[in-house]
Amino acid sequence: MSRITELKGIIADAYNEIQEIQKLCSHPAPCVTKKYTSNTGNWNPRDDTYTIKLHCELCDKNWEVVASTNTSYKDKTEYEDADRLYTRVIK
């Protein structure tokens, strides 16, 4: 096994471990920051989207929740849940 192959294995193992830790993290609200973004003013307003970008300082996970004027009720509920659940706002 070459050194490169060995190093790639180490990176893959580390990445898998990071994903496991992030999967187990409950992302408690005091550790999560959220940033509101939007894409509006489109020619077709149905393309407008509103996004909350979330970051957990505990496990370093980044994710986002998108609500669009053109999405299902489920997507809007997920957006509203994230909006209500996480209280720290970053600009």
Tell me which stretch binds Zn ion (CB under 5 A): 19-27, 33-41, 62-70, 73-81: 19-27
Residue among 31 and 66 whose Cβ is closer to Zn ion? 31
Q: Any contact of residue 33 with Zn ion (CB under 5 A)? A: no
- Of the candidates 88, 18, 15, the residue with the CA atom closest to the CA atom of residue 53: 88
d(CA 31, CA 46) in angstroms, rounded, equals 33
Q: Any contact of residue 88 with Zn ion (CB under 5 A)? A: no
d(CA 82, CA 77) in angstroms, rounded, equals 9
Chain residues binding Zn ion by CB under 5 A are 25, 27, 56, 58-59
